Amino acid sequence: MHCTAVLGAAQAASTAALLQARLLGMARRAMATSLLCVPPPQVLLRPLAVPERLLLGPGPSNVPPRILAAGSQQLLGHMHPEVLQVSCPSPAFLSSPPLPPARDWASSARVRGTIAVPAGPLLPQVMDEIKAGIQYAFQTRNRLTLAISGTGHCAMEAALLNLLDRDDTALVAVNGIWGQRAADIARRLGANVHELLKPPGEYFTLWDIEEGLVQHKPSVLFITHGESSTGVLQPLEGLGELCHRHGCLLLVDAVASLGGAPIFMDQQEVDVLYSGSQKVLNAPPGSAPISFSERAREKMLRRKTKPLSFYLDMSWLANYWGCDGELRRYHHTAPINSFFSLREGLAVLAELGLENSWERHRANCTQLCQGLCDLGLELFVKEEKARLPTVTTVRVPEGYDWKEITAFLMDNYSIEIAGGLGPSVGKVLRIGLMGCNSTSGNVDRVLCALRDALRHCRHSRL
């Protein structure tokens, strides 16, 4: 039996090699008779081979089969003219709570104009389902809720470039790389930017923030909920109210924390909140949930200048996502399969329930932290309540090279963990437990691999 399997594998390998040689020969012969001077790259004549790995870094996390399957479905017709004729009232936009499930709208879709609605789901229906999922994950009833066609950075740019008008002042809370990036983006937009600094590993108190608001009188405050470069969870309680008392809007980055730690957009008076698809939502990177409060929407309506980017102009995107009550117009070709995956990631979260998801991340993070301490390692974030449940940071132990440790885990256990990023480079190792990867079994696996690494990489460069 074993022998047959080995023979079969050998045969398959030699057939693949033969096929590759034949393809290469064909390509070379074609080149000889054509005007092309750049040959087809040999690397592309081999099949794509993606190794199986357990992704326990700060993201992306593994994509479970259900979400992979959703993303590999055939495309749905994009916004063809007949689709554009259909009235697509976003349930979130037109109605007050409780929101009707998006399926109700789909099955009773009305028709404007003369063209009938084709049977089966349309892309706008999937988009409406995504909106409802984001509203649940964010705990918001904001009508301007959608997914950006891009990664977390794209949502960060979209938030800043739509909120900040010429000559606006922004206050950016910097305690890791994400504040640094936001300040960089805001400066590129020509805003008047002030940074509020805290050492990596620490969070901002209301008092810190109030000082900055009084001193700089910004119209927007940027802060990171889950600082994945340092492993800090920023408390948000009272922050929205404080900002509003000082005439400032609150913009929060929840790329690394959404679904892993409580966030209540409406109750906490957050004006703009964005996240990413590839962390707790376990979808591939490429789409980024975002939502704007009424206050934020009003500020955008009062803009003196157009946002610098057409692609990320929220007035276009609001229409494209059916948030403005108008007929949807073509804006760009949606990354349709990314939207399918995001929809499924949000569905998994809705089925599990936010509270269960938060509790699962909390419990597994606690188990991990305990295990790291038992290995004699030092957690980077001192205060337990300030630890981000999705990404744990631990100091690189004295005398070790962090790159050797991460390489050891990859080579021997096919587990990815990461070193530091930005201000934490060289200081920490980062271990992510996100969505389906946040399990007690994975905590055991990574601790066992780390124990082995500490034994084998010990002081090797000293």
For the beta carbon of residue 161, count every other beta carbon within 10 angstroms.
20
**Smallest gap from residue 111 Cβ to ligand PMP (A):** 38
Q: Considering beta carbons, is residue 268 or 287 the nearer one to ligand PMP? A: 287
Site residues for ligand PMP, window 401-430 (CB under 6 A)?
A: none
33-64 burial, b at 16+ Cβ within 10 Å, e below that, comes to eeeeeeeeeeeeeeeeeeeeebbbbbbbbbbb
Stretch that binds ligand PMP, among 18-26, 114-122, 252-260, 406-414 (CB under 6 A): 252-260
Q: Does 390 bind ligand PMP (CB under 6 A)?
A: no
For the beta carbon of residue 219, count every other beta carbon within 10 angstroms.
20
Helix axes 354-374, 336-352, angle to 10 degrees: 80
Stretch that binds ligand PMP, among 76-84, 149-157, 185-193, 358-366 (CB under 6 A): 149-157
Q: Considering beta carbons, is residue 253 or 416 the nearer one to ligand PMP? A: 253
- How many helices (H) and strands (E) the chain has is answered by 16, 14
**Residues in contact with ligand PMP, shown as a per-residue x/- string from 190 to 229 under the rule CB under 6 A:** ----------------------------------x-x-x-
What DSSP string describes 255-280? Answer: TTTTTTS---TTTTT-SEEE--SSST
**Smallest gap from residue 254 Cβ to ligand PMP (A):** 8
* Angstrom distance (rounded) from CA 164 to CA 185: 11
Q: Considering beta carbons, is residue 182 or 348 the nearer one to ligand PMP? A: 182
Q: Considering beta carbons, is residue 92 or 429 the nearer one to ligand PMP? A: 429
Size of interface with ligand PMP, in residues (CB under 6 A): 14
Site residues for ligand PMP, window 48-87 (CB under 6 A)?
A: 58-59
Q: Considering beta carbons, is residue 79 or 148 the nearer one to ligand PMP? A: 148
| Side chain identity at residue 442, one-letter code | N
Which helix (H) or strand (E) segment holds residue 67: the answer is helix 65-71
Q: Does 256 bind ligand PMP (CB under 6 A)?
A: yes
Site residues for ligand PMP, window 166-185 (CB under 6 A)?
A: 178
Q: Does 276 bind ligand PMP (CB under 6 A)?
A: yes
**Smallest gap from residue 249 Cβ to ligand PMP (A):** 18
Is residue 139 left, alpha or beta, with left meaning phi > 0 and alpha meaning psi from -120 to 50? left
* Angstrom distance (rounded) from CA 106 to CA 88: 9
Q: Does 292 bind ligand PMP (CB under 6 A)?
A: no
Q: Considering beta carbons, is residue 256 or 368 the nearer one to ligand PMP? A: 256
Cβ contact 254:226 at 8 Å: yes
Single out the residue of 157, 165, 168, 253 in contact with ligand PMP (rule: CB under 6 A).
Answer: 253
Going by DSSP bridges, is the β-strand pair 192-197/169-174 parallel, antiparallel, or unpaired?
parallel
Can you name the residues that pair with 249 across neighbouring β-strands?
220
Q: Does 389 bind ligand PMP (CB under 6 A)?
A: no
**Smallest gap from residue 182 Cβ to ligand PMP (A):** 9
Distance, CA of 434 to chain centre: 11
Residues that bind ligand PMP (CB under 6 A): 58-59, 151-153, 178, 224, 226, 228, 253, 255-256, 276, 285
